[in-house]
């Protein structure tokens, strides 16, 4: 019997891709207006800086996601003052992203159903805590979640099995009693499985168009509204998912 269900946040409880596109566009427009930079340059340079920070800090650091650090580096790079622009870019990015979040279809009912059936339900995510807290609050999901665990709290990131081990231990369960649901096959599914949880991929057709899918015969939730099917999946064993694998 499973006792706990952990969810990823971005692209799992709400549509991150669309919201991030809108937020990036708002930052591009700000940089075009303020510094005369083409959008292609801004996006490419910010991406390069993200990769550089991961290289410098190591991938296990939640601070690799810190937009304030990324924007500060970007501004230094283009010879512009960090104050006040880094803070302005930070607010533009996150305010736009939060305004553009759309909850995944059927997610509130699914979370409520799990809670009603006695499961411990929490969110466990790679990111800094304050921004994830803001997102959960804006989505109105706070009352449906027992906890919000971020990689900043754990001091390591998915897919490190220690991340999942921390969540399981903090909630007071054994790994085999826990399920992890997330949209990223490598980080969420393979990572949680390595720690002994039941890893389930969340993948709508929209997500499938942009992201890696699961192998044949593996556990996938495509629609939270398919309540009975999803609950069966949560209670099923590992053998279900490796039927077609040798």
Which stretches of the chain bind Mg ion, using CB under 5 A?
8, 10-11, 183
Closest distance of CB 101 from Mg ion, Å: 13
Q: What share of the chain is helix, strand, coil (3-state, %, to 5)?
A: 60, 10, 30
CA separation for the pair 122, 147 (Å, rounded)? 5
C-beta closer to Mg ion: residue 8 or 66? 8
Closest distance of CB 76 from Mg ion, Å: 30
Token pair listed for 43: 């996006």
Closest distance of CB 9 from Mg ion, Å: 7
Residue by residue, what is the 3-state secondary structure of 100-132? CCCECCCHHHHHHHHHHCCCEEEEEECCCHHHH
C-beta closer to Mg ion: residue 10 or 28? 10
CB 8 within 8 A of CB 183: yes
C-beta closer to Mg ion: residue 12 or 72? 12
Phi then psi for 120, rounded to 5 degrees?
-80, 125
C-beta closer to Mg ion: residue 66 or 104? 104
Closest distance of CB 8 from Mg ion, Å: 4
C-beta closer to Mg ion: residue 86 or 154? 154
CB 212 within 8 A of CB 188: no
Phi then psi for 185, rounded to 5 degrees?
-60, -45
Closest distance of CB 78 from Mg ion, Å: 30
Tell me which residue of 70, 80, 20 sits closest to 49, measured CA to CA: 70
């Amino acid at each position: 019997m499973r006792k706990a269900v952990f969810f990823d946040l971005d692209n799992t409880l709400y549509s991150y891709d669309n919201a991030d596109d809108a937020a990036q566009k708002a930052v591009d427009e700000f940089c075009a207006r303020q510094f005369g930079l083409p959008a292609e340059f801004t996006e490419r340079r910010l991406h390069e800086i993200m990769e550089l920070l991961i290289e410098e800090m190591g991938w296990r650091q939640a601070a690799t996601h810190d937009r304030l650090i990324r924007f500060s580096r970007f501004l230094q790079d283009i010879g512009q003052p960090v104050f006040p622009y880094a803070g302005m870019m930070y607010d533009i990015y996150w305010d736009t992203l939060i305004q553009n979040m759309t909850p995944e279809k059927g997610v509130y009912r699914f979370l409520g159903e799990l809670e009603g059936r006695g499961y411990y339900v929490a969110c466990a995510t790679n990111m800094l805590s304050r921004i994830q807290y803001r997102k959960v609050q804006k989505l109105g999901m706070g009352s449906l979640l027992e906890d919000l665990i971020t990689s900043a709290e754990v001091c390591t990131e998915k897919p490190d099995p220690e991340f999942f081990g921390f969540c399981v231990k903090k909630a007071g369960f054994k790994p085999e009693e826990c399920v992890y649901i997330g949209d990223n096959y490598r980080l969420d599914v393979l990572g949680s499985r390595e720690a002994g949880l039941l890893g389930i991929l969340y993948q709508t057709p929209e997500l499938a168009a942009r992201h890696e899918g699961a192998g044949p015969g593996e556990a996938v939730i495509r629609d939270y509204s398919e309540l009975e099917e999803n609950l069966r999946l949560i209670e099923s064993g590992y053998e279900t998912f490796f039927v077609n694998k040798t």
